[in-house]
Amino acid sequence: MQFPMYAGIGLHIKYSEERYQSQTVADNHGVKPAVLQERHFAGVRLYTWQINEHVLLIKLNYLLPQTRNRRVCLNLAMAHATSIQYEPVAEIGGGAYGTVYKARDTESGQFVALKSVRVQTDQNGLPTSTVREVALLRRLEQFDHPNVVRLMDVCATQRSDQETKVTLVFEHVDQDLKTYLERAPAPGLSPDRIKDLMRQLLCGLAFLHSNRVMHRDLKPENILVTSQGQVKLADFGLARIYSCHMALTPVVVTLWYRPPEVLLQSSYATPVDIWSTGCIFAEMFRRKPLFCGESEVDQLGKIFEVIGLPPEDEWPTDVTLSRKNFPPLIPRPIADFVSEINEQGAQLLLNMLTFDPLKRISALNALEHPYFQDEETLTQTKS
């Protein structure tokens, strides 16, 4: 059976235990709703009930990462006109996936950030893949990680039979890292401040990766910095949500923070975010991007000017672009490009900007790097 209630409704995603189902049934005068549909997708079971003429209950059941048998139930209650709860105040940005608005939550009075995407739908409504990705991100809220922006709510409104607008509601932070760097007085951020920002960034990234969430589009604009100097990663996982079943709109994502495996259209995993973090690390010192290519090939060329042309045995075998298209360059000292960085910082940067993603340092290991030890500890270790 098809989903009959998508038109003109909002979508709210809330984390809960199995008991949510029985509570919802009890609220419906003790009448147990019939299962309208059961769908399976990549280990996920998706059930849909008709609660009444206005509300659907969707139960999303899946295995938690790093567990064998614990399953989590996410219930998605769909109700009319929930998007009215958020009143747009001002446009605060735009990107590859649409316009970002600052809005006021009319219930709490707090400011939030609204990010919308148009998703192609079929006779079954929202694609299961989109529901699954949003639900996985929504589940992260229960951990309340200090370096990850909170996804507070999700609303969906059907625009036509073929298209639904999904709006993600995030906590609002006034500035991103790009603005933070631009506002820093000359000569820029101090080495200690950069170290603190990097530590927070890697803490947030380690948390996401431990929950099997890739960012895929990490750049200064997607790293928020509060007035207290707290770093919060934003837009994590959204590239995957948007790419699942996005409506036909042109998408242009900056090349400057993309790792070689993505530029070469090879397979990739969480190390893509480490490369991007390395580019951002260098930019904090330089106050300008490290690699500014105008195309995928040009970007690769600029990367090889710094790290050298990788050996033949490290070149991915699943790509069409040949290694022979690039001159035989040798690695250059990091100090030539990031002059203010110390020895430990340069070593960490090289570990992040490693061509082979399997040899690239992880977020957890990066946090254990000597760069993050204080000078006194380093002196004691050397002696």
Give residue for tokens 């064998």: 68
Tokens describing residue 78: 């769909």
User: For the purposes of burial, counting CB atoms within 10 Å of the CB of 184, is it exposed (0-12), middle (13-18) or buried (19 or more)?
Assistant: middle
The answer for residues whose C-beta is within 8 angstroms of residue 179's C-beta and 6 or more apart is none
| Cβ density class 80-98: b for 16+ within 10 Å, e for less | eebbebbeeeeebeebbbb
With beta carbons less than 8 A apart as the criterion, state whether 337 and 303 touch: no
With beta carbons less than 8 A apart as the criterion, state whether 22 and 78 touch: no
User: For the purposes of burial, counting CB atoms within 10 Å of the CB of 377, is it exposed (0-12), middle (13-18) or buried (19 or more)?
Assistant: exposed
How many Cβ atoms from other residues are within 10 Å of residue 373's Cβ? 14
217 is catalytic: yes
The annotation status of 102 as a binding-site residue, yes or no, is no
Work out the end-to-end distance of the chain between its first and last CA atoms, rounded to an integer number of angstroms: 72
CA distance 351 to 323: 22
- The active-site residue out of 153, 217, 235, 273 is 217
Length of the chain: 383
Rg of the chain over all Cα atoms, to the nearest angstrom: 23
- Please give the angle made by the CA atoms of 76, 81 and 83, to the nearest 5 degrees: 80
Tokens describing residue 175: 């500035």
Tokens describing residue 352: 């992040």
CA distance 195 to 198: 5
Tokens describing residue 221: 């604009």
The answer for residues whose C-beta is within 8 angstroms of residue 22's C-beta and 6 or more apart is none
With beta carbons less than 8 A apart as the criterion, state whether 364 and 206 touch: yes
Binding-site annotation, residues: 115
Annotated binding site for ATP: 115
Task: List residues with catalytic annotation.
Answer: 217
